[in-house]
Structure 1
């Protein structure tokens, strides 16, 4: 699974030419932008209005709140306390929403999305915890701490775990959720046109009024430093995941370990899937599904996508001959620029 607040991918880039407002047919529309670093990655928040605005303080507050609730890299965050076995923590609304959505997607993906893999994330060297040398016996011993059916949100808003050694890792959904909170902030402020990007995950609403078209997004080629395709995004979220950049090389054996952990086996996933891009109504949902599809074999992911209409996806993978292939749902095809 794709878990990290510290080092995150950026598989998407903004089509900057379409975002420049030095010349515009609507001189009374201002491009307001906040950029910076948060959640272990960079962000770019663009919001259009008929006046100059600066929501930096409110944006920082969203990131701070998400970190305080769900960052495994902050020792006194709620999730860190729960992971250490504190069963008295009353979780906030954000934690509750992410927990419930995680449970839903865990069930819908037959366990391919599972935020209880935290112990394995640490053991494989992709989390804040202690890395250990794992073999099949070691992985088997840790699998007893994996399974979202082993945890529950109680009526008193605390978390019950079957075993105190179960560790949560919401980093495969929390970044997308943070963007959804930023979108809610913009909606509350009455902003009708915005493009929010954090580490390559996006929420787009309205349009780029400089061009009177939906926001332009370039999706990077996982095998080259260039755009693979470009799309127009409007009133939709997109999240991406890939193994081609994030991996760890064992300093002793030289073996390569990718960051996607298969919750079914406990091992890092050796997959022919290079990258997944998911469109959904919310970024948290897109983020979680992008992770799930990376954990699945590509054939399983395609079969899953063909059976539902709530999300769309674009998958880049290698066939049995090592040739690059693509799969794209009909809904995704509709947003691709010719």
Structure 2
């Protein structure tokens, strides 16, 4: 699942841009942790009884565990060993939980969400491997037998078996969300009642923002903003909820004849990029892993199929932005589920 940059020959990954509107102040009740992890930035705000309390080491440990299990950029990780053909490896509980959720979303999306698309991600130049020099029908046809999550199973003794040894697994579309869930579980176990965790635009909240005595407020970037100026299209208040946004900010193509904005998305069923006018999808879900995975899946589906999936999964709320031609914000069309609409604030 990879997005194609509008200029020929360039590709970019899925961008997750959600801005925090929680303020930067620090007081004796709120601890803020910030840094880099999993190739992106993170900000974690959590309420503590005393200034001396910190869970920085526990947070860093979770990042290390996830990398060791699921980083395709770490050659010694479990997923890299599996991608290299190791069928004897017994995966850890983290890998098992993500694998099971990935299968669930794969089935719910009728295969459009597919972690085995990693071989195509690499071929198009956005993965840990060097891209191929030329992508054509012959190359794609040679890679397509390696795409299909039905070819990968988790055994009863927690090993991963692949029908073809060259199948490449990539859990990047839900691993960040899962990492946030793990940090949330740790804070829950520590008795922390109020926190916000943000990693690369994925968000999980518990309780309230006690600095402002209200639910945590976050904003979603407009997909049509220009330059370095941030423009927000909507703000929502979250309470004990997770949200993930998948979008194509500044990375779309404008059709010179119709004026419509499009992005190109690699379809795991065909192996080729397809034109889409879906510019941004935000999903609210009980867990961040679910929000992360379904936001990616809905980016790859047309609006009618997205509506059908959301109807079948009432635990999900969504806000989808598409382009219908024209210029500026007036060219955008919005679809919002009733539950999402209820969380929007001025």
Normalization by structure 1: what TM-score? Answer: 0.90
Give the 3-state SS of the residue equivalent to 1:172 in structure 2.
helix
Which deviations, in whole Å up to 9, do the C-alpha atoms of 1:60-83 show, x marking residues without a partner? 000000000000001111101110
1:287-326 to structure 2, matched below 5 A, reads: 287-319=292-324, 323-326=331-334
- Verify the 8 A CA contact 1:258 1:268 in the aligned structure 2: no
Corresponding residue pairs, total = 321
Once the two structures are TM-superposed, the CA of residue 258 in structure 1 deviates from its matched residue by 6.2
1:48 maps to what in 2?
Answer: 47
Pairwise CA distance, 1:85? 0.7
- Deviations along 1:200-253, whole A, 9 cap, x unmatched? 000000001122211010111111131111110110000111133569xxxxxx
Question: Secondary structure, in 3 states, of the residue corresponding to 1:117?
Answer: helix
- Match of residue 131 from structure 2: 131
Alpha-carbon distance in 2 for matches of 1:154, 1:306: 32
Cα displacement (A) at 1:279:
0.3
Does 1:120 pair with 2:123? no
Other structure's SS at 1:238 match: strand
- Sort the Cα spacing of 1:129 and 1:115 in 2 relative to 1 into closer, same or farther, 3 A: same
Paired with 1:327 and 1:267, the residues of 2 have a C-alpha distance of 27
Listed as ranges, the matches of 1:129-208 within 5 Å are: 129-132=129-132, 133-208=134-209
> Once the 2 structures are TM-superposed, how far is the Cα of residue 328 of structure 1 from its aligned partner?
0.6
Stretch moving more, 206-215 or 164-173: 206-215
What's the offset of the Cα at 1:296? 1.0
Please tell me whether the aligned partners of residues 173 and 292 of structure 2 are also in contact (alpha carbons under 8 angstroms).
yes
Worse-superposed segment, 189-198 or 45-54: 45-54
Q: Who is 2:89 aligned against?
A: 89
CA contact (8 A) 2:263 2:279 kept: no
- CA distance in 2 between counterparts of 1:203 and 1:260 reads 27
Q: Mind listing any 5+ residue stretches in structure 1 that lack a counterpart? A: 23-28, 248-256
- The residue number in structure 2 matching 1:329 is 337
SS in structure 1 at match of 2:308: helix
8 Å Cα contact 2:45-2:196 kept in structure 1? yes
Conserved in 1, the CA contact under 8 Å of 2:26 and 2:32?
A: no
Give the deviation of 1:8 after TM superposition: 6.6
String of CA shifts for 1:285-333, please: whole Å, max 9, x gaps.
1111011011112332133223431101101111266721111100100
Contact 2:181 2:287 in 1 (8 A): yes
Matches of 1:8 and 1:110 in 2, distance apart? 20
Q: Report the equivalent of 1:15.
A: 21
Distance 1:123 1:246 in 2: 20
**CA–CA separation in structure 1 for the residues paired with 2:59 and 2:267:** 34
CA apart distance, 1:36: 0.2
Rate the CA distance shift 1:2–1:334 in 2: closer, same or farther, 3 A. farther
Match of 2:243, SS? strand
RMSD: 2.1
